[in-house]
């Protein structure tokens, strides 16, 4: 009899768990939205949860599976999300109806590093965007050019020294060294020589950030849990590192701009201006003070966005150039001609004039998107244009840049590396939402101009 009770008890527990982890799975069916069949517990992202596939590849697979649909309903664990395939709907969500989708919807503690421009939502994001947008204007980037030169020169010296010791390099590690030197010069005013004692610490930070963590999946399973428990996506060791880095730099500069025109100088200039207020998109006018914590959060996202992503993109670019010697030859000729015409000097204008280089860069980002997937959260109920669907407040909307970039409707033979896709007359006829390496609209990558320039510079 006891065995029977145990069996019944276990069966009841299994059934209860099954019901709990599938409780939302009729959400899209009840709204007549097509989508892949979800798996208990995992939803539609099993391969991502088990770290078998990158989440961008998983979203691309779902995108491809529904070629005739404008929108697709899917589940990240138990959380229903809407994948948008139609470019006009994407344009509405990202641009025309942006006031409904101002938030990314990444819910966790907004203290410490959570106050960064990428993850912040609502009034905090608006205030940060208003305050930090001027840092990335063309004029500011031009002023930073000599810093990129410093970082690049130090990197060349490093490679020259190392090449005397060995004949082969692991390219990705080499590119990481370059991006660290450039970011450190542009952001923190740290020279490559003085950076040597910080290299191990920076690598440790990178390991912590990139190491597998299931905290995001926990939020998919229990939306709002991280925020309610005041938990962060980032370990305290990372927070402490950037707090110390920023405090040291502020102390060295006596809390004032040093005249280097680097990222920290620009932030210190903003801090001298005092508080900033947000009154856009229906927000009540929150005041945000530029504290050392806020500065540390921006330094963190500047580092994360520029370090690994830049190194990875450059690695893919070098790979494609190696695999396509005709493209490599054409690019080399353009660079040589440009340098010859400018007496060997590399300037901001010189790089901008290298049209083929820019096309190679754009094609690399088409094939190897940086941010996957793009994510927005509806801050109120929204009727999806061109459909009968009305999504509820707090619904997460996803866009797959990789899915779009490999869609033959927009790019013929998408698996082929072809920079000529970005000839002005060709690209000009393409839908503006058919190319999304940095996102689009007001929540696109605020530093995309800097990323574009620094990647081309190498």
Helices (H) and strands (E) in the chain, counts: 21, 8
The burial of 408, by beta-carbon neighbours within 10 Å (0-12 exposed, 13-18 middle, 19 or more buried), is given as: exposed
Distance of CA 62 to the CA centre of its chain: 21
240-267: burial string, b at 16+ Cβ within 10 Å, e else: ebbbebbeebbeebeeebeebbbbbbbb
CA–CA distance, 327 with 335 (Å, rounded to integer):
12
Report strand pairing: 276-277 vs 390-391.
Answer: unpaired
Q: With left for phi above 0 and alpha for psi between -120 and 50, is residue 369 left, alpha or beta?
A: beta
Nearest to 59, CA basis, from 403, 377, 309: 403
Cα radius of gyration (the chain)? 24
Measured over the CA atoms of residue 406, residue 412, residue 418 and residue 421, the dihedral's sign is negative
445 labelled ligand-binding: yes
Report strand pairing: 374-377 vs 276-277.
Answer: unpaired
* Residues that constitute the known binding site: 445
Annotated binding site for heme: 445
């Amino acid at each position: 009899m006891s065995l029977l009770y145990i069996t019944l008890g276990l069966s009841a527990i299994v059934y209860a768990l099954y019901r709990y982890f599938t409780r939302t799975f009729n959400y899209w069916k009840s709204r007549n939205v097509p989508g892949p069949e979800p798996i208990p517990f995992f939803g539609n992202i099993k391969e991502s949860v088990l770290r078998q596939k990158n989440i961008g590849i998983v979203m691309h697979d779902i995108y491809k599976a529904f070629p005739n649909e404008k929108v697709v309903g899917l589940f990240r664990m138990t959380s229903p999300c809407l994948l948008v395939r139609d470019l006009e709907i994407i344009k509405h969500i990202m641009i025309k109806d942006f006031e409904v989708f101002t938030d990314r919807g990444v819910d966790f503690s907004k203290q410490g590093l959570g106050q960064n421009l990428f993850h912040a939502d609502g009034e905090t994001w608006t205030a940060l965007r208003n305050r930090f947008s001027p840092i990335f204007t063309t004029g500011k980037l031009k002023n930073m050019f000599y810093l990129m030169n410093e970082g690049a020169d130090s990197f060349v010296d490093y490679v020259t020294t190392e090449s005397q010791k060995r004949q082969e390099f692991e390219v990705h590690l080499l590119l990481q060294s370059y991006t660290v030197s450039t970011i450190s010069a542009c952001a923190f005013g740290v020279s490559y020589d003085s950076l040597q004692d910080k290299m191990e610490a920076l690598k440790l930070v990178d390991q912590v950030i990139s190491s597998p963590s299931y905290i995001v999946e926990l939020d998919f399973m229990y939306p709002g849990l991280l925020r309610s428990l005041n938990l962060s996506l980032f370990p305290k060791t990372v927070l402490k590192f950037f707090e110390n880095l920023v405090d040291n730099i502020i102390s060295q500069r006596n809390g004032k701009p040093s005249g280097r025109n680097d990222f920290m100088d620009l932030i210190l200039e903003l801090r001298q201006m005092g508080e900033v207020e947000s009154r856009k998109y229906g927000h009540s006018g929150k005041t945000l003070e530029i504290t050392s914590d806020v500065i540390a959060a921006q330094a963190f996202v500047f580092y994360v966005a520029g370090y690994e992503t830049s190194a990875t993109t450059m690695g893919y670019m070098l790979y494609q150039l190696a695999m396509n010697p005709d493209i490599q030859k054409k690019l080399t000729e353009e660079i040589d001609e440009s340098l010859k015409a400018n007496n060997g000097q590399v300037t901001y204008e010189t790089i901008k004039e290298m049209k083929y280089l820019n096309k190679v860069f754009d094609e690399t980002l088409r094939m190897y998107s940086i941010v996957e997937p793009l994510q927005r959260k509806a801050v109120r109920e929204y009727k999806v244009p061109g459909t009968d669907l009305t999504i509820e407040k707090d619904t997460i909307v996803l866009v797959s840049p990789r899915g779009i970039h490999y869609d033959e409707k927009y790019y013929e033979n998408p698996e082929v590396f072809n920079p000529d896709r970005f000839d002005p007359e060709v690209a000009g006829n393409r839908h503006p939402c058919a190319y999304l390496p940095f996102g689009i609209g007001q929540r696109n990558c605020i530093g995309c101009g800097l990323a574009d320039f620094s990647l081309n510079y190498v």
